[in-house]
Structure 1
Amino acid sequence: MSSGESVNVAVVDIGSNSLRLQISEVKDKSYKILDDYKEMLRLGDSIYTVGYFTPEVINRIVETLTGVKKLAESRGCKNIRAIATAAFREADNMGEALIRIEDACGIKVEVISGEEEARLTYLAATANFELAGRKAVVVDIGGGSTEYTIITDGKLERSESLPLGCNRLMREFLKKDPPTSGQILEMKEHIKSAQAPLGLGRDINMVICTGGSMNNVAVVKHFKDKAVRDSNVKYVERSFLKKFIKDFSQKSYNQRIKTEGLEENRGDLILPAAIQSDLVLNETGVSGFYTLSGGLRSGLTIDTINKMGIELPFQNNTESIRYARLLEIGNKFDFDEASALHVQSLAKMLYDGLKESMDLQGRDWLLLEGAAILRDVGKHIAYSKHHKHTYYLIKHSELVGYSAKEIEMIANIARYHRKSPPKSSHEDFNLMTTADQTKVLKLAAILRIAIAMDRSHKGQIKSLEVKVKPDVVIISAKSKGDISMEIRDFELKKELINKILKRPVILT
């Protein structure tokens, strides 16, 4: 695949609870999800009762995959990569089911091991979390099994697949509705016994839970907080989880499904998953967990892209997944990478020289860095008013290593890299606190100057030195070649920084 070309890929994850399809467009060094389809097949209902797929269940799988294939083909996907997990691994008639599926709809399903499940989930985790300098455990709770992956300083240390899927646990232990305290206690002891050989200790400082049931716990929490945000990553405090478990332990299935945000098909599965996650938090002493939506299928998409001979930016930059994600998003929206990185470099020189006089510190540079790299992604939509399009694209992108508030600030900094400064009619800016508004203006002022220093997009200015004096700020530029365009644009862009610094800024 040559530069600038794109291809659509489709992956299918057939789990014990649900079948998930993800269709993505792959272009250069990035991909974006076009479709994400789910069907709750609950194959575990058959496997963990009779031990095999009944004819009706196989027919349902075939019918669903036939529809999935049509959807993928309508998106221009030439092939579908399909994997199956615990339910297929344990089905007495696995071979018969696989043959029937391939004959009926032309899809060859690969039954993967628990260890391969863990590796794929690890790929997804490293793409979505800053794991350098951390020791993390990823707990991928499916219907039939749970994969535990230990990550140290961003590297996969070890993984283990345990028969602790929520459908399996529910059917083995929680046989009454609502379950008795004795049943819950017995299930807890069973989980703890299975977890013990893992040696989950207090050296673990981050817990990531994946799988539909724990993602649904996070959705319920965010509904309760009135903070619903369409994000792949969410955070849930253990204090909420403990209340959730206590509440759901006392409710029947019909009472649970009235909970806002709860998927009806998970009303009986969510409690075993929540209890297992809480036991992990208890062993590690961590105060909460992150959820990652689409962990396994996201990892499968990344692995499929790798098999095409493409490595994504985060895989070549494990020191900073945050930075790699900025480049990945920039590539997704066809940014000028060379110009973006040069402006980022100029912005850093300006920031270092001005941070003390502008009262900037801590993570403020990371905000400016994000805005400098992504400032022009709005051109992907249209050049006209691209700064406004940039705000929207940044706000709705999955930036790694930034909080929701920081993403909003980055979007605003990039929004004000050109044209007029904020006005009373700019609602998104006015929703921020006064302190955040002030910081956005300071960083946007620096960004405007950095952009002016590369107006020709030729990288003529190699370095900048800033001298702050009581009555003036002098920026000295070392350059090669003609910088008349840069000088002219500086004169046009300096008004905001002059106002903030309360003294003239001159370029020499």
Structure 2
Amino acid sequence: MTENPAEKLTRRRVAVIEIGTSSIRMAIAEGSEHGRVHTLEKLIQTVAIGEDTYSVGRISRKTIETCIRVLLTYQEKLREYRLTNPENIRIVATSAVREAENTLAFVDRVYIATGWVVEVLDVAEVHRVIYQGLQVWRDQLPTLVRDRWVIAEVGGGNTEYMVLNRGEVEAANAVRLGSLRLRATLTTYSAPATQWPALLRSQAQRAMTDTRLLTRSDPKPKLLLLGGEMRFTAERLQGVESTQQAARIPIAELSRFTDQVLEMSVDEIVREFHISLMEAEVLGPALVANTQLAQHLGVEQVHVLPATARDGLLREVIDRDVWSDELVSQVLRSAVEVGRRYQFDEAHATHSARLAKLLFNQLSRLHGMNRRYELLLSLAALLHEIGLFIGTSSYHKHSMYLITNSDLFGMGHRQLMLVGSISRYHRRASPKASHTGFANLNRDDRVVVIKLAAILRIALALDSTRRQRIHDFECSIDRNRLVISVPDTNDLAMEQLAIRQTGHLFEETFGLPILLRGQRPKSTRRSPRQ
């Protein structure tokens, strides 16, 4: 297949580094925005961060310095690829760093030693990048968009799972069930090695019993398992190339292999399978967790796909964090579900979000923000009134609280804080330095909140009657005013009053007063009678 010359010219070379529970992995790739990603090189170094976090609650100084040495080695490798621009490099950490008592000390030490900023991913952000990684490999499993699936990855600390129904995210959550966490728990029992298999199964079964994976049982889901241990298992049992092919494993075969591994010592696993000591230590617990999950769901076979979080991270870096339409739709659907949970006025909320999006796009030269912020505005418009579920007094503050503590798919803590703050300032007082939540934001985020809250107020004013009367309009700047012209409408008295009451934030932010005017329907003239 001949490569498109234009695409070749627009290719970016990028790298992502994932600081996980048992290893630090790096992937270097190149690709064009919304095009195919071509991986150039992958590196992995074993570092047992999770052993520290899940046993003593903090990352030891020795482990931190081991991480630094690995990252400095990776930094040298990136120089060979002439990858030094921070915009093309993303470093993330998952549960072992997130749950440690000294997370900030770890992140600061990495920055001092390397100049790199480590992004500690929230659970929701992990789900998003896993979802993004799945999209890279979905051609290998076409039924992902047709059937109901549970997608799960047993990591060192947690099992991350999503439920997809015909391609739409039905649920996403995490279970405190991971290979290193299981091993750390068993170590505290000081039980003899002969009892470990039974204890592993007991702990895994308890974790699954305490978790409600599915909100409904029909239709019965299929199970897709991700993760290095399952890729290794597929390669051993099915003979597939673990990094390139999808596989199916009957549950009976998976159970037999799990039993075989549990009967072996760590040294025997290393010799038999030619893997590292760390990989050998977590193989048994990981297989137990995956097998228990399959039995909990009652499936007869499991599917394995070589998708990784790094695939999703590479996609996001290459696309400059501008999410695909498909991912945006998943996030918006999640927001609507949150709104329904709090009995919001769905017609008003969805119409307000549509008006806000129109304003955002027509005022792009004025605000200078890209599509990432369009999503934040749409979410704030959808959820700005959910605080009414608590009470009418200061409900905008209740909305902010509910949003920042919600489980919106794919949205991390920082993004939820932005959406919640934008929603809070849809009415009443303008943002002030004395407001705690607003004052805690950095300067760039404060500017985002002010701009988007100003636009949101205008969108809400355009539906102040709650009758969804205005569906289209045209924005223009005339005589240092923002003129919003609504076609085929003459009576805009209520909307004009609402803009006079709430438009001051827009004028303060952008320096433009607003004129809302209607345009009479064009009448068809008849020729004079002869």
Q: Same fold (TM over 0.5)?
A: yes
C-alpha displacement of 1:107 = 0.8
Assess, with a 3 A threshold, how the Cα gap between structure 1 residues 152 and 38 changes in structure 2: closer, same or farther.
same
One-letter amino acid of the structure 2 residue matched with residue 248 of structure 1: V
C-alpha displacement of 1:310 = 8.0
Contact 2:201 2:288 (8 Å CA) reproduced? no
1:71 aligns with 2:80: no
1:177 aligns with 2:190: no
C-alpha displacement of 1:75 = 1.3
1:116 aligns with 2:125: yes
Superposition pairs of residues 66-465 of structure 1, within 5 angstroms: 66-77=72-83, 78-79=85-86, 80-129=89-138, 130=142, 131-173=144-186, 176-196=192-212, 198-199=214-215, 201=217, 203-222=219-238, 225=239, 228=241, 231-260=244-273, 262-307=275-320, 309=322
Counterpart Cα distance in 1 of 2:129 and 2:324: 15
Supply the RMSD in Å over aligned alpha carbons. Answer: 2.8
C-alpha displacement of 1:298 = 0.7
Counterpart Cα distance in 1 of 2:263 and 2:39: 39
One-letter amino acid of the structure 1 residue matched with residue 204 of structure 2: K
Counterpart Cα distance in 2 of 1:246 and 1:96: 41
Counterpart Cα distance in 1 of 2:152 and 2:323: 27
Counterpart Cα distance in 1 of 2:72 and 2:315: 24
SS at match of 2:58: coil
- Cα distance per residue 1:135-185 (max 9 Å; x no partner): 111111111111111111112222101211110012213654344454134
Residue 460 of structure 1: aligned partner? none
Superposition pairs of residues 18-97 of structure 1, within 5 angstroms: 18-27=23-32, 29-77=35-83, 78-79=85-86, 80-97=89-106
Assess, with a 3 A threshold, how the Cα gap between structure 1 residues 109 and 229 changes in structure 2: closer, same or farther.
closer
Counterpart Cα distance in 1 of 2:294 and 2:118: 35
Contact 1:233 1:290 (8 Å CA) reproduced? yes
Assess, with a 3 A threshold, how the Cα gap between structure 1 residues 272 and 257 changes in structure 2: closer, same or farther.
same
Contact 1:122 1:138 (8 Å CA) reproduced? no
Counterpart Cα distance in 2 of 1:261 and 1:158: 38
Assess, with a 3 A threshold, how the Cα gap between structure 1 residues 293 and 39 changes in structure 2: closer, same or farther.
farther
1:6 aligns with 2:18: no
Assess, with a 3 A threshold, how the Cα gap between structure 1 residues 237 and 44 changes in structure 2: closer, same or farther.
same
SS at match of 1:48: helix
Assess, with a 3 A threshold, how the Cα gap between structure 1 residues 125 and 235 changes in structure 2: closer, same or farther.
same
Counterpart Cα distance in 2 of 1:230 and 1:247: 24
Assess, with a 3 A threshold, how the Cα gap between structure 1 residues 179 and 19 changes in structure 2: closer, same or farther.
farther
**Which segment drifts farther, 48-57 or 71-80?**
71-80
- Cα distance per residue 1:212-251 (max 9 Å; x no partner): 22222223224xx5x5565253332212211012112222
Contact 1:126 1:154 (8 Å CA) reproduced? no
Assess, with a 3 A threshold, how the Cα gap between structure 1 residues 199 and 45 changes in structure 2: closer, same or farther.
same
Contact 1:218 1:236 (8 Å CA) reproduced? yes
C-alpha displacement of 1:276 = 1.8
One-letter amino acid of the structure 1 residue matched with residue 21 of structure 2: S
C-alpha displacement of 1:200 = 7.5
Contact 1:217 1:270 (8 Å CA) reproduced? no
Aligned residues: 314
C-alpha displacement of 1:293 = 2.9
One-letter amino acid of the structure 1 residue matched with residue 134 of structure 2: A
Assess, with a 3 A threshold, how the Cα gap between structure 1 residues 14 and 99 changes in structure 2: closer, same or farther.
same
1:16 aligns with 2:21: yes
- Cα distance per residue 1:52-80 (max 9 Å; x no partner): 11111110111111111121222132232
C-alpha displacement of 1:201 = 3.9
One-letter amino acid of the structure 1 residue matched with residue 72 of structure 2: T
Counterpart Cα distance in 2 of 1:112 and 1:84: 6
One-letter amino acid of the structure 2 residue matched with residue 18 of structure 1: S
Specify every segment of 5 or more residues in structure 1 that has no aligned partner in the other structure, as ranges.
319-508
One-letter amino acid of the structure 1 residue matched with residue 254 of structure 2: L
One-letter amino acid of the structure 2 residue matched with residue 115 of structure 1: A
Contact 2:316 2:323 (8 Å CA) reproduced? no
C-alpha displacement of 1:198 = 4.2
Contact 1:234 1:291 (8 Å CA) reproduced? yes
SS at match of 2:55: coil
Counterpart Cα distance in 2 of 1:310 and 1:186: 41
C-alpha displacement of 1:294 = 4.8
- Cα distance per residue 1:435-458 (max 9 Å; x no partner): xxxxxxxxxxxxxxxxxxxxxxxx
Counterpart Cα distance in 2 of 1:228 and 1:303: 26
One-letter amino acid of the structure 2 residue matched with residue 30 of structure 1: R
Contact 1:203 1:284 (8 Å CA) reproduced? no
SS at match of 1:267: helix
Counterpart Cα distance in 2 of 1:256 and 1:214: 15
One-letter amino acid of the structure 1 residue matched with residue 105 of structure 2: E
Contact 1:178 1:252 (8 Å CA) reproduced? no
Assess, with a 3 A threshold, how the Cα gap between structure 1 residues 273 and 66 changes in structure 2: closer, same or farther.
same
- Cα distance per residue 1:78-102 (max 9 Å; x no partner): 2320110101111111111111100
Counterpart Cα distance in 1 of 2:231 and 2:286: 10
SS at match of 1:119: helix
Indicate the percent of aligned positions where both proteins have the same amino acid: 21
